[in-house]
Structure 1
Amino acid sequence: MAQAQAQDVIRCQYCEDEPALFQCLPCGDELCSKCKVFHLKSKVPSGHKIISFSESLDPSNMIKMCEKHPTKPYEVCCEDCQVPVCIICIEETHGKHTIGKMKNLYEEQKTSMVKELHQLKNQFKLQVTQTLAEAKSGKSKLKKSHEKVRSRMSEEAKQLIDQITAMLNKTLQESKDDEEKEEAEISKYETKLEVFQQQLEKIIEKYENLTQNGHPADLILYRKQSPHTVKNLTLPDRIEITPLSFKSRKLQDMTQFGDLLKTKIRYQKVGIPAITDDGDQSWKPEQTNKKLLVKPELLHKVDIKNKSNELYHVECVDETKAYVSGSGPGILLIDTLGKELENVITEVQPRGLAVMFDDSLIFSTGSKGTILKVSHDKKMSTFVKDKYNLRGLCCTKSGDILACTGPGDTARVVRYRSSGEKIQEIVHNHNGKKLYSYPRFVCENINGDVCVADRSNPDKLVVVNMDGEFRFNYHGKTGHLKYTFFTSLEIATDSLGHILISDCLNNVLHLISKDGEFISFLLTQDVLRPRGLSIDKSDNLWIGEWENSCVKMKIYKFLS
Structure 2
Amino acid sequence: MDPRYCAQDVLLCNLCNKDVLQSHCEACNISLCLNCVGKHLSDPSKRHNVMPYSQRNQQQQHIIPNYPKCPKHSEKHCELYCESCDFPVCSTCLSSGYHRGHNLSDVLQKHSSKKESVKRDLEELQEIIRPEFQKVASDITAVKANLEKHYEGLTTAVMKQGEDYYREIEIIVNKRKSEIEEIRAKNLKILSKEDDEIASNVLEIKQKILDLEKILSSNDVTLAFSYISRNAEFRNLLPKPNATYILPILSPPKFNTEQLSNFFGSLSELSVTTDDLEYTLKRTESHSSPPARPLLDKSQLITTLFTNFTNLSSISCFDGEEIWTFERNIMELYNLQGKLMESIKTKSKNYIYDIAVMKSGDLVYADPKARTVNILKNKQIEEVIRLQEWSPYYVCSTFSNDLLVTMNSDDGQSKVIRYSGSTEKHTIQFDNKGVPLYSSDVFLKYVCENRNLDICVADNGASAVVVVNQEDELRFRYTGYPSSSKEPFCPYGITTDSQGHILISENLKSCIHILDQDGQFLQFLGNCILQSPWGLCVDNKDSLFVAQSSNGIVKKIKYM
TM range (shorter): 0.3 to 0.5
Structure with bigger gyration radius: 1
